[in-house]
Amino acid sequence: MPEAVSYRIQDGIAVATVENPPVNALSATVRAGLLAAAERAAQDPEAAGLVLAGAGSAFIAGADISEFGKPPVPPALAEVVAALEACPKPVVAAIQGVALGGGLEVALGCDARILGPKAQLGLPEVKLGLLPGAGGTQRTPRLIGPAAALPMIASGDKVPAAKAVEMGLADAVAEGDLLRAAFARVRELAGKPLPARLNTRTDRLTAPGAREAFEAAAQALAKRAADEPQIAAIIEAVRNSFDMPLEQGLKRERELFVMLRDDPRSKALRHVFFAERQAAHIPGLPKETRPRAVNQAVVLGAGTMGTGIAMSFANAGIPVRIIETDAAGLERGRKRIADTYATSVKRGSLTPEARDARLALIEGAVGLEAAAGADLVVEAVFEELELKKEIFGKLDSIAPGAVLASNTSYLDINAMAAATSRPQDVLGMHFFSPANVMKLLEVVRAEKTSPEALATAVAVGRKLAKVPVVVGVCHGFVGNRMLSRRTQQAERLLQEGATPGQVDKALTEFGFRMGPFAMADLAGLDIGWRVRKATGATAPVADALCEAGRIGQKAGRGYYAYPEGARAGQPDPEVQTLIEGVSRKLGITRRDISQEEITERLIYPMINEGARILEEGIAARPGDIDVVWLYGYNWPAWRGGPMHHADAVGLPRIAERLAAYADQTGDESLRPAALLRQLAAEGAGFGSLKPRGGNTTKAA
Ligand code: 3H9
C-alpha cells in the first residue's frame, strides 16, 4: 500500500499528494498524512512552501462518509486545517478535480486555490443532512462574503472552475500545467510577509451592507429552514461568522455538526448515498463483462411511456426511433413530445437550440420492420402478454444482435424471452412515469438474460441519467409489487371507517408529497379498473367510484371533487355515502381509525412484502429496494427508504404490529414474513444482510 499522502520536494517546493482511491476521501490516514506534511514542510529547509495536490480525478471528495457514526480517530479534520493555516510558509492547493466538503475546507486553510479547468468546488454536506464541520461555515463567509456563502452552502451544488474564480472562492484557473501554476503562486508569496489568512480576515464581514445582504439570503431560505434541520443550522452557523471570533464560531459549528450527524434524518440520507452507489454493484456479473455499444435505440409504442422513454434517449444524445402501428398514433406521439419540450422551453429549463438538437435525434416510423439496425429495442406497447410475445418473436429476426427490452410493469419477461431464439438478449427495462423525469429504472434480469445484455441495460440506464436497479422476475417486480400491498390496505381502511382525506393525510405527514387517493385521482382510476376486470380482481370502493363515473381528476371527480378544474381535491359527501354503502354491503361495522394505525397499515405491509422480495432473491439487497422507492415513488429521502425505515423503527415492533393487524382484520397477507420474524428474533436489521446472488461487480 502506498502512503495515503506522499511528500516530495520538487523545484525547492514541498508537494503533498493525496492518494486514497477512488475519490481521495479524508480517511484517518489521509488526515494524519496531511497533518504530517504541513508540519514537515514548515520545518523543511529545502521547502519554500507547500503545494497540496490530489492523485487521480478528484482533489479530495470530502470526509470519508463511512467513518461517520464510528468512534472518531484523531487527528480531527479541523486540526489539519488549523495546521495548514498556521504554517509559516505559503501553502497552495492545486485542485484538478472535485474539492468537496472537507476537501474544500482543507483548501480554505491554504493561502491560494489554483484550479485545473475541470475543477469543481462545493460544500455538499447539506445533501447528507449535515453542515460543513471543519470550518466551511466560518471560512467561506470570510472569503466570499456571508451573503454568497449562505446559498452556496445551503444548495450544496458544485461550482465549476471559472465561476469559482469569479466568486472569489478560488484564485485562478491555470493555463497549462496546474502544478507549475501552483509553484509560481508559492514563489510569488514566498520570502515576504504572507497576506492575512482567513483566521484573521474580517473585511468581508464588516463590508457595508454585508449583514443586510446576508439576512435577505437567510430570509429566502426560511421555508426550507422550517422543514430541514440542517438548513436552520447552516443559517445559524454562517450568521455566527458576524458575531463570533473564529474560534468560537468553529466550536459552535462543531456542536451543530455533531447534533446533525447523530440525527436519524442524516443517517437516512447517508444510507441513501451509499445505497444508490451499491445498486451499481451487480451480483453474479463476471468481472470481464463489457456492455455493448448503443448507438441507435428503438422504442415501440408512442404512448405516454413510449414517448417519455424516447425523450430520455434524446436527452442523453442517443438517436432513437419510435415505432407505431399507424400514422395517427405516431402523430399523437410526436405532438406529446413537442408539447413536453415546448413546456420546458417556456419554463426556461431548455434552450430552443437544445430542444431542436433533441428533436433531431428522434425519428418516427410505422411498422415493426423499422426496428432493423437497432442496438437496443425498448418495447412499450399495451400490457398484454400475448401481444408482447408476438412482438418479441418478430424482433428476434428483424433486429438481430439487438438487446430486446420490455417496459412491462407486471408481465412475465421469461415468457417474452421464450418467444425468441435468443433469450439471453431479453430483459426488462421498467421506466417510471413520467419516464423522461423519474430517475428509477428497474432492470429486470430474466432467467436466461446474459451478463452482457444486463450490463448493456445498466450502462444505458446510467447514460440516460437514471438510477438502474437490477431486480428479478415476479408480478410487479419490486416497486409495484410492494405498492399493491399499500393500495390493498388503503382500500380496506376506507371500508373499515377511514376517509380518503385521513388516509392521504397519514402519508403526507409521513413525508410523501401525495397520498394514495390524491395520486389515484391524478393518474386516473380507470386503468386499474380495467386491469381488475380483466383479472377478476375487485376493490369494492374503487370499483363503485368507477361505476359512478368518478374516474379521477380528468372527470372532475374521483375520491375527491375537483370543481371547475381545481387541482386540489375537496372532500365530497357523495363519496362518503358511497363508501358507507360498500361497508354496509360487506357487513363491516365502521369505526374510528387512528392516524397511527393508518400509517402503519400503509407502510408496514410494504416492508413485509420487501422482506418476501429479499427472501426470494428478487432484490439483492434491502438498499436496492430503498433506491426503488426513493427514485420511483418519491419516498421521503430523509426516511431513507422502506427497509432503512424498518430498521430505524425496529423490526420487533414491525413484526408485532403486523401480527396484530393480521389477527384484527383476518387478513393473512399481513402476517409477518419469515425473514422479518427471523431478523426481529435475532435483534438484527435488514441492514445486516449480505447481498444475495454471489460476488458483485460494479457496472461500467
Ligand atoms: C464532509 O466532508 C464533512 C466535513 O465537512 C466535516 C467532517 C468533520 N466518502 O459517486 P461515485 C465512494 S461530508 C466515502 O460512484 P462519481 C462511493 O461510495 C462529505 N466514500 O463516483 C463509490 O464507492 P463504490 C462531503 C465515498 O465519479 C466511489 O467512491 N462530500 C465518498 O460518480 C465512487 O463514487 C460529499 O458529499 C466519500 N465522501 O462521483 C461528496 N465519496 O466504488 C460525495 C464517494 O464502492 N461524493 N465515495 O461504489 C460525491 O459527490 C461523488 O462520489 C463524487 C464522485 C463527485 C466525488
Return the CATH number of the domain spanning residue range 5-261.
3.90.226.10
Q: Whose CA is nearest to atom 11 of ligand 1?
A: 277
Reported as a pLDDT band with limits 50, 70 and 90, residue 390 is very high
Confidence of residue 700 (pLDDT cuts 50, 70, 90): confident
Which CATH code, of 1.10.260.40, 3.40.640.10, 1.10.1040.10, 3.40.50.300, is assigned to 498-586? 1.10.1040.10
Residue 661 contacts by C-beta under 8 Å, 6 or more apart in sequence? Answer: 597, 600, 601, 604, 667, 670
Tell me the angle at which helices 500-510 and 516-523 cross, rounded to the nearest 10 degrees: 110
Output b/e per residue, 643-668; b: 16+ Cβ within 10 A: bbbbbbbebeebbebbeebbeeeeee
Q: What are the pLDDT digits (tens) for 231-268?
A: 999 999 999 999 999 999 999 999 999 999 999 999 99
Q: How many residues does the chain have?
A: 700
- pLDDT tens for 637-677 read 999 999 999 999 999 999 999 999 999 999 999 999 999 99
Which position has the grid cell 435577505? 216
Transcribe 230-292 into DSSP letters: HHHHHHHHHHHHHHS-HHHHHHHHHHHHHHHHTSHHHHHHHHHHHHHHHTTEEET--TT--PP
Residues whose CB falls within 8 Å of the CB of residue 133, separated by 6 or more in sequence, listed in order: 63, 77, 78, 102, 125, 253, 254, 257, 258, 261
Q: In what order do the strands lie in the sheet with 50-54?
A: 5-10, 13-18, 50-54, 91-95, 112-115, 172-173
250 lines ligand 1 (CB under 6 A): no
Which residue's alpha carbon is nearest to atom 33 within ligand 1? Answer: 22
Each residue's pLDDT tens digit, 458-467? 999 999 999 9
Which residues have a Cβ under 8 Å from the Cβ of 613 and sit 6 or more positions away? Answer: 474, 478, 481, 482, 619, 625
Report pLDDT for 332.
97
Q: Is 129 in the pocket of ligand 1 (CB under 6 A)?
A: no
In this predicted structure, the answer to whether residue 375 has a pLDDT above a threshold of 80 is: yes
pLDDT at 2: 61
Grid coordinates given for 643: 427497509
Percent of the chain with pLDDT over 70: 100
Mean pLDDT rounded to a whole number for the chain: 96
**Has residue 69 got a pLDDT over 90?**
no
Q: Which atom of ligand 1 is nearest to the CA of 127?
A: 36
Pick from 65, 128, 258, 624 the residue to mutate for probing ligand 1's pocket: most ligand atoms within 8 Å of its CB: 65
Question: 244 burial class (0-12, 13-18, 19+ CB within 10 angstroms)?
Answer: middle
DSSP code for 659: H
Query: Atom 14 in ligand 1: which residue has the minimum CA distance?
Result: 64
CA of residue 441 to ligand 1 center, whole Å: 22
C-alpha cell recorded at residue 664? 384484527
Atom 6 of ligand 1 has which residue's CA nearest to it?
Answer: 133
Q: Burial-class residue 88 by CB neighbours within 10 Å (0-12, 13-18, 19+).
A: exposed
Q: With bands split at pLDDT 50, 70 and 90, how would you rate the model's confidence at 98?
A: very high
Distance CA 698, CA 280 (A): 5
Decide: residue 671, CB within 10 A, 0-12 exposed, 13-18 middle, 19+ buried: middle
Average pLDDT of span 679-693: 94
- Secondary structure, 3-state, 670-681: HCCCHHHHHHHH
What distance in Å separates the CA atoms of residue 475 and residue 582, rounded to the nearest whole number? 28
**pLDDT reported for residue 411:** 94
The ligand 1 atom at the shortest distance from the C-alpha of residue 120 is 55
In the predicted structure, residue 565 carries a pLDDT above the cut 80: no
Write the DSSP symbol of residue 539.
-
68 CA to centre of ligand 1 in angstroms: 13
What separation in Å is there between the alpha carbon of 487 and the centre of ligand 1?
37
Q: What is the mean pLDDT of residues 71-89?
A: 96
133 lines ligand 1 (CB under 6 A): yes
Question: How many A from CA of 62 to the centre of ligand 1?
Answer: 7
What is the C-alpha to C-alpha distance for residues 550 and 543, in angstroms, rounded to an integer?
Answer: 10
Inform me whether the pLDDT recorded for 1 exceeds 60.
Answer: no
Q: Delimit the domains of the chain by residue range.
A: 5-261, 297-475, 498-586
Ligand 1 and 30: CB distance under 6 A: no
**Residue 697 banded pLDDT, cuts 50, 70, 90:** confident
Kindly report the protein residue whose alpha carbon is nearest to atom 50 of ligand 1. 61
Whether 371 shows a pLDDT value over 90: the answer reads yes
pLDDT at residue 568, as a whole number: 87
| DSSP 8-state symbol, 505 | H
* Mean pLDDT across 340-345: 97
Is the distance from the beta carbon of residue 124 to the nearest atom of ligand 1 less than 6 Å? yes
Mean pLDDT of 269-285: 95
At 626, phi and psi to the nearest 5? -60, -45
pLDDT at 564: 84
Tell me the pLDDT tens digit for each residue of 572-624: 999 999 999 999 999 999 999 999 999 999 999 999 999 999 999 999 999 99
For residue 322, report the distance from its CA to the centre of ligand 1, in Å: 38
- Residue 45 predicted with pLDDT over 80: yes
**Calpha distance 534→189 (Å, rounded):** 78
Could you give the residue numbers annotated as active site?
105, 125
Instruction: Kindly give the distance from the C-alpha atom of residue 422 to the centroid of ligand 1, in angstroms, as a whole number.
Output: 39
The cell for 134 is 471543519
> What is residue 527's predicted lDDT score, i.e. its pLDDT?
85
- Residues ≥6 apart with Cβ < 8 Å to 297: 313, 318, 319, 320, 321, 374, 375, 376, 377, 378, 460
pTM of the model: 0.95
For 324, the 3-state DSSP assignment is: strand
For residues 462, 464, 467 and 468, what is the CA-based torsion angle, rounded to 10 degrees?
Answer: -70
Mean pLDDT calculated for residue range 133-148 = 98
**Ligand 1: nearest atom to the Cα of 58:** 56
22 touches ligand 1 (CB under 6 Å): yes
Instruction: Report the nearest-CA residue for atom 28 of ligand 1.
Output: 22
The verdict on the CB of residue 134 being under 6 Å from ligand 1 is yes
* CA distance from start to end of the chain: 25
Band the pLDDT of 144: cuts 50, 70, 90: very high
CA atoms within 13 A on the CB side of 340: 22
Complex ipTM more than 0.95, yes or no: yes
Give the full edge-to-edge strand order of the sheet including 98-100: 98-100, 120-122, 159-160
Q: 63 in ligand 1 pocket by Cβ < 6 Å? A: yes
Compute, in angstroms, the gap from residue 276 CA to the centroid of ligand 1.
Answer: 11
pLDDT tens-digit map of 11-20: 999 999 999 9
Per CATH, the homologous superfamily of domain 297-475 is: NAD(P)-binding Rossmann-like Domain (3.40.50.720)
Mean pLDDT across 284-309:
96
At residue 103, the 3 state secondary structure works out as helix
Express each pLDDT in 502-548 by its tens digit: 999 999 999 999 999 999 999 999 988 988 998 899 999 999 999 99
Cβ-contact 320, 360 below 8 angstroms: no
What would you report as the CA-atom Rg of the chain, rounded to the nearest whole angstrom? 29
* Ligand 1, atom 4: closest residue by C-alpha: 102
